[in-house]
Structure 1
Amino acid sequence: MNKLTSIYLDLIRFTAPLVVVLSHAAGFTSLKIPIISGLGTEAVVVFFVLSGYVIAYVSNNKENNYIPFFKARAIRIYSVLVPAILITLFLDHIGLKYNPSYYFLHSNFHNDYSIFTFIKLLFFFGEGFNQHLVFGSNEPIWSIGFECIYYILFGTLLFCRKKAFLILIFFIFIFISLPKVIVYFPLWLMGVFIYKMSNVYFKYSHFLFVLTFPLFYLTIKLPLAHIPMYKPFIWDWSQFSSILYFYLFSLVVSINIFTARAFFEFTGFEKILTSCERYIRYLSGKTFTLYLTHLPVMMLICSLYYPKSIISSLFVVVITILITFFFSSLFENKKGILFTFGRYFSSKISGVHKS
């Protein structure tokens, strides 16, 4: 992958979850940033497009067999998802003990800690069959139920010519995912498409990149419904209006990513971007944990210390981010405990498979 594109994708990878954090902060603190605070679901659309792009890249250049492909996805997901669920259980237990009313008054909170929900989330069934399962205060987990199914669908189709049983898995997950998860699959596939088009050159790509920013604003202001993607799918005009909105938003995101390299090369801003590479890489390496643990952390802090001013609200956001970064150092980083264990365990499985 081109270095400029890689750095820019990492910049997006950090910016998108930061928008999600600020969006949730608006519901718990007095920190309400115009436009930004209402773009939590749109930030997830960015995740989907970005994910499709990256998975298309690795499957084309690194993982040319279904075993390394799914192994890499499993290590990446479970090394963060499992501890995130356990952290949610622990933090929610503290919050419910000292200020239960705070939790039950918030729409983000779901008083569900059952082992069945835990298992369904681990196998990405939380959003299947048009349902929406949430483990305690950790509502952001819903997007994993979408994204991981997209991994499975893409991977099974990609490698089914080598292993016929993958076709069966493909149709099983199609059945599980109808209609809600499948209807947003094209958002993820947009990322795959722009990767396939990454070597195509357009004369005015740099101008298109600049144009995407007012297009973002215009798309958000379109008279279309903005129904969160995790809501149960209902066959009515509002639902289809919302689907159209997210499709259009993903199109603008895709154009932005596709034209970014041309913009930085044409304007000379590539020097600025590359000079910040170290910091961008560091921050992007924390984003999965930031996304999956920030809400339980923020909710606990606010249940014990309610921020009434902008300064105290900013304090809560900063502390939340720092705590999630600490969690990230434990299991998201490749030297983290669970990541290391996952690699060791999967290598043993691969060894058994080969023998």
Structure 2
Amino acid sequence: MKIIKLEAIRGFVALYVVIHHFILFTQIYSLTPAFIKFFFRFGREAVLIFFLLSGFVICVSHQKNNTDSFPIYFRKRFLRIYPILLFTFFISILIFYLNGYQFSFVDFKSWIQNVFQLQRINDEPGWKIEPFLGNLPLWSLGYEWWFYMLFFPLIYLLNRFKIKARNNIYVVLLFSIISWILFIIHPSHVFLVLNFFLLWWAGFYCAQIFIEHRDFKLEDLFPVLISLFIMVLIIGLPIAKDFFIENRSIAQINKNFPITNYLYNYIEALILIITGFVWWKFNLFKFDLVLGWFKIFAPISYALFVIHFPVIQLKLPCIENIYLILILKSAIILLLSCFLEMIFQPWINKLHKKLNLYFISPNYVISNTKTNNIL
């Protein structure tokens, strides 16, 4: 089941991230007016919206296919993420080769690490595992993939212990609090992923409310709002103490890792959900005018997200006009995204279906083949 307005938001956010990176990582930065720079500076917030949307969509999908086993669930997630991701790796290698880059064993090691979704942002604690060949947006995929993997065992345990839907957010909150305490004791990317799972589950919880009531009431959203607020207090109170009482600067507070960014994630999630609730109560006033038309980008949003940054890095030495370069790269990004989502991914799905039928029921395939030959 697709919710058109969510599709529009997804399309908008994907396009927003592309423009954000065009402004930030190309020569047009110096030519861009200050107010446009400001509007497109919220790349991290855009990724947070993706996390919330992802949790929401997985809830809707789970409601529809709640009899799926973990192998089936895993296969679905794998088929949605990895074919396009692996193609993106190939495009990145091709672009860097054209740019004159010399590959090394370090790049091969980075590729393996990215295949296993171990990539992260540079300033995070632990091993420095960067997105493959500098494809920065992939850091968020390293979170989202593990959110998917955490979801199924958790939902199984919640059902096993018969925990009501309204209370599952508190279980995830406890999970996040413990992870944060462990992170403070021993800073690790693993504990950070476990802690941020609450952000993803906030979207899942909101979907539960929507599926049950087809409406949002403040009392229904209270559990998710209070859970996010508790994490704001747990992370924020030590920061406030350091800043206001001990007079430490933000740079000093973030000396070991960007702890204020972790706080902002929870504050921004609160703001986004409250804003969405208020807009909902005003019947999503002018939604179609503001965001509705972005739904045309929704079908290619995933490919758009993972493929655009390598193309931005492509060198075009034979062209000097900055705006022409911008137009050409934008066209390449859109064409590749359309190819991946509308041709390549459907082909992978059909191939998987044929292989699945072959391995599960070879007699059916043989019989089908004979029938087709006769026809």
Given the two structures, how large is their TM-score scaled by the length of structure 1? Answer: 0.69
Structure 2 residue corresponding to 1:133, chosen from 127, 130, 133: 130
Kept in 1: contact 2:119–2:129 (CA 8 A): yes
In structure 1, give the amino acid aligned to 2:267.
L
Kept in 1: contact 2:303–2:337 (CA 8 A): yes
State the partner residue of 1:8: 5
Kept in 1: contact 2:311–2:329 (CA 8 A): no
How far did residue 323 of structure 1 move? 3.1
How far apart in 1 are the matches of 2:312 and 2:89? Answer: 15
Map 1:1-355 to 2 at 5 A. Answer: 6-26=3-23, 27-31=25-29, 32=32, 33-65=36-68, 66-96=70-100, 114-127=107-120, 131-160=128-157, 177-198=189-210, 199=213, 200-202=215-217, 239-258=258-277, 261-264=280-283, 267=285, 280-301=294-315, 305=319, 307-308=321-322, 311-312=323-324, 314-316=326-328, 318-329=330-341, 333=345, 335=346, 337-345=347-355
Structure 1 pair 305/71, CA: closer, same or farther in 2 (3 Å)?
same
Q: Deviations over 1:35-61 (max 9, x none)?
A: 233222221111111101111111122
How far apart in 2 are the matches of 1:19 and 1:271? Answer: 17
How far did residue 67 of structure 1 move? 2.9
Given the two structures, how large is their TM-score scaled by the length of structure 2? Answer: 0.65
SS of the residue corresponding to residue 64 of structure 1 reads coil
Q: Deviations over 1:104-145 (max 9, x none)?
A: xxxxxx987633322222222224955432211322111111
Q: Which has the larger radius of gyration?
A: 2
Kept in 1: contact 2:10–2:295 (CA 8 A): no
Q: Deviations over 1:249-292 (max 9, x none)?
A: 12222334455555446x5x578699x6xx65542010111111
Kept in 2: contact 1:330–1:338 (CA 8 A): no
How far apart in 2 are the matches of 1:184 and 1:112? Answer: 32
How far did residue 351 of structure 1 move? 6.4
How far apart in 2 are the matches of 1:349 and 1:162? Answer: 32
Kept in 2: contact 1:52–1:189 (CA 8 A): yes
How far apart in 1 are the matches of 2:361 and 2:318? Answer: 49
SS of the residue corresponding to residue 126 of structure 1 reads coil
How far did residue 242 of structure 1 move? 1.7
How far did residue 34 of structure 1 move? 2.6
How far apart in 2 are the matches of 1:72 and 1:188? Answer: 19
SS of the residue corresponding to residue 118 of structure 2 reads coil
How far apart in 2 are the matches of 1:344 and 1:153? Answer: 29
Structure 1 pair 329/187, CA: closer, same or farther in 2 (3 Å)?
closer
How far apart in 1 are the matches of 2:71 and 2:61? Answer: 13
Kept in 1: contact 2:303–2:341 (CA 8 A): no
How far did residue 350 of structure 1 move? 6.5
In structure 1, give the amino acid aligned to 2:15.
L
Kept in 2: contact 1:19–1:36 (CA 8 A): no
Structure 1 pair 96/37, CA: closer, same or farther in 2 (3 Å)?
farther
Kept in 1: contact 2:10–2:50 (CA 8 A): yes
C-alpha RMSD over aligned residues: 3.9
How far did residue 238 of structure 1 move? 7.0
In structure 2, give the amino acid aligned to 1:285.
P
Identity of aligned residues (%): 22
**Structure 2 runs not aligned, ≥5 long:** 161-174, 183-187, 221-238, 241-252, 363-375
SS of the residue corresponding to residue 38 of structure 1 reads coil
Structure 1 pair 201/159, CA: closer, same or farther in 2 (3 Å)?
closer
How far apart in 2 are the matches of 1:20 and 1:304? Answer: 27
